[in-house]
Structure 1
C-alpha cells in the first residue's frame, strides 16, 4: 500500500466506455453523474398517451358526478341556481374530457379546475 490512488486508470476506463457507447450509437454517459441522459423520444409518446387518458377519464368522471348532483339537487328543495351550476360545471368538465382526448391536456386541466369551481360555487349558494 503505497497510498497512491488509481485515479489515472479510472479516467482511461471512462474514456474507453464513452468510446464504446459512441460506436454503438448510444449517448455517452456524463462522467460526473454516471447517469444515462434521457431522450424525449423514449418517454414522450407514453407520457402523452397517459396524460390524454387521465384528462379524458377525469373529465368524464367529473361530468357524470356533476350531472348526478344536478339531478339530485333538482329533485330536492334547492334553489334553481344550484342544479344549474352543477349542470354547467358538468358541461365544462365534459368539454375538458373532449379536449383531453384530442391532446389538449393543459387546456383540459384548466377547464377541469374551472368546472369543479363552478360546481363548488353553486353548492355554496345552497
Structure 2
C-alpha cells in the first residue's frame, strides 16, 4: 500500500497533497433534502398519532371483551393501562415528539402483552 488516496476522494477530505481537481463544467443537482424535511416530519407525526390511536382503540376493545368474559381482573386492567399509554403516545406524536411517542407505543404494547399472559 502506498498510502495514496483514491482519485475520487473529495478534495476537502483528501488533504492538500492529494487534492483532486474538479471539473466545474457540470454542476450536480442540489440534493440536500431540505425541502423533504417538513414532509418527513409531518409524515412521522401522522404515523405516530395514527398508530397510537389504532393501538388505543385495539386495547380498549380488548379490555371490554376481556371484562365481559371470565378473565381475571388484572387482564382488562392491563389492556386499559396499555391503551392509556398508547393514547399518550398518540398525543405526543401529534405534537411532534415522535421519538418519545415511539417508546410509549412500545411500552403500551408490552403492557398489553404482559397483561394477556395472566389469562
Measured against the shorter chain, the TM-score band is 0.7 to 0.9
Q: Which residue is equivalent to 2:46?
A: 53
Q: Which residue is equivalent to 2:77?
A: 84
Structure 1 residue 61: deviation in Å? 0.3
Question: TM-score scaled to structure 2, two decimals?
Answer: 0.78
**1:15 and 2:8 matched:** no
> In 1, Cα distance between the equivalents of 2:100 and 2:30?
30
1:69-108 aligned at under 5 Å gives the runs 69-108=62-101
Structure 1 residue 76: deviation in Å? 0.3
Unaligned residue ranges in structure 2 (runs of 5+): 1-22
Between structure 1 and structure 2, the one with the greater Rg is 1
Q: Which structure has greater helix proportion?
A: 1
Deviation digits for residues 2-60 of structure 1 (CA, Å, limit 9, x no counterpart): xxxxxxxxxxxx42223xxxxxxxxxx2xxxxxx4522421100000000000000000
Q: Which residue is equivalent to 1:109?
A: 102
Query: How many residues in Structure 1 have an aligned counterpart in Structure 2?
Result: 99
* Root-mean-square deviation (Å): 1.8
